[in-house]
Structure 1
Amino acid sequence: MTSGNNGASTPEDDDPFGYLYADGQAKGAQPPSGGGYGYPNSVNRQRAVGQRQYGGQQQAPAAATAPYAQVPQQPGTYNQPNSHYAAPETFPGGAPTSPQQSFRSDGGGGRGRGPNTKGLLIGAIAVVAAVVIGIGIAMLNGDSSDDKAGGSSSVAPSTSASTEPSKSADSNASPAALPTIDAKALNLGTGVSTASDVKGASSDGGVYVTGLNQPGASVTWTVNGIPEDGVYTVFATYSTADEDQEMTLTVNGKTFGSKFNFGNFAHAKDGDFSKGWTKTYAWPSLNKGTNTISISCQDGDKCNVLLDQLSLKAGQVKN
């Protein structure tokens, strides 16, 4: 077999515009006339208008085909509907007939709806309202608390600001009673003695210490059973008349920081010791166990005092 010209009937040689070129005309290409592309025996790929498939059904052509299978233009005016026009939704399987079908909220085709902005807006408003209500309730409760606090306030001083001894001052006291000593049980220094001529002393038999109004005179109390280290109150029952007196207090061999005040708190007249019985106190620090407490008349002291009793209490108290 020898090579030759097989004609223009093969698909790769089809050229719809072959009749425009010299080689196509030489092969017998002619302008199209309702058949193929112009070549003899060429493949016809044209289809008449109206033969498109809609929903699997064949639609018949609207009119007889002209060259190129076109429907002849119908007369009409500008912007007027064409009588041969049919909307796509009139064909089976065509465009949807309502807007709701083209927008599905279930995501099953087409374009779904956007977020539910109305629901989100209602939720946001509810949250803001809840916050505002909560703040209002908190403010009302705060005002009522302030009112109650203000209504219960008193102009009277509090217990901690009172000049009277507080209960907390006695909280350190030991359950066991701290000792008290009468005048006749004290250790008396040189020139000091006891007497009972002046009435009003609290010691047994009305006995008191006298002779303390001379330099170097003293009395000493050895105290046992102090429960713990700390500050204690030393009370002294005594009598004086006319001027206030003051003497030296010594604890465990160390002079107390200030003089022991023996003031004329009873306001007794000069020499009237029976009217001058009263009490005074000091707040020294004691050690746990045994301590020595001395009252003496040192240089510069005023010692015209009749001493009756000495006693102790834990903490800083006044009576």
Structure 2
Amino acid sequence: MMPSCILRILSPLLFLLSSLSSFSQIDQTDVDDFVRIYAMQNQLPLEDIHAIVTQATYQPSIIEKMNKPAEKTMTWTRYRGIFMTDDRIDAGVQFWITNETTLQNISQQTGVPEKIILGILGVETFFGARTGTYSVLDALYTLAFGYPKRSSFFKAELGKFLELCSREQLDPLSIQGSYAGAMGYCQFMPSSYLAYAKNYDESGSTDLMNNVDDAIASVANYLQIHRWQTGKPVALQAIATGTAQLPLAKQSLKPKESYSTYQEMGFRTANGSSTDEKVTLQEFTLDEGNEYWFGFTNFYVITRYNHSPLYALAVYQLGEAIQSKMTEKKKL
């Protein structure tokens, strides 16, 4: 066993070496090139951009999380269990009651049901209660310069973040969000914020960090632009019959096949209904066995928000549960 006096001497040195190792993950030349090119392309003073970017800190924990996203490591049983809780459903009902006028207005304007807007806000941030604790600047800096396989994407997002902060007069050093750099009620990445954020009353800037009305309008706007089909279904549970071809090969998220095609493969809807719509069939792994769901175009639209069938089904089921409880409450 190493003497405690030696450990006391080595501890600061080990910490320093660990810190140096973290900094070594960043190529400073790469950072300087980004600052120079961004400043030049946007006709901004080089020193202003440099002053912001140099205050970012590399966060190794962000790289670890990026390498183990929940959607790729969890069963549907565990993933669903995170979001389909009484607390979250009750919070959704209360959020609906508090913001009923805005939800109704936005739903009528866009054709996106209130329950779907609520499903997304509930899954993303527990209706604004959990918007993330990472510095967005640190997150984007870390991923832009320390995550080579998606460096180009996150450099672009870092640039959009700087543009967003300038346009909306935000402090880039104080904004917190997810480990991937998503922010606010909607958890929009900077490029999505710039492209899809919508000011509810059209009175000026759009605030997705604090303004609930803007957040509701922006979620609906995102789905509408990605071609939400008003009045059309989202998903139907499927059953594998005795003739089903298992295991099911991975299917496209975008509906391409007719329902009859899947019938021929040995699958049918759990409620016995049929449809002329194009569908996709998605398989969800349970702790024991598997579950199957037919996804319609609107299911695909939800996956444009997060490219995961787990996410889309969680949004759908949470929205349904909130609507069901809201209906019960109104009957009392």
Q: Give the structure-2-normalised TM-score.
A: 0.18
Q: Which has the higher helix share?
A: 2
**RCO comparison, higher one (Cα < 8 Å, 6+):** 2
Tell me which structure has the larger Cα radius of gyration. Answer: 1
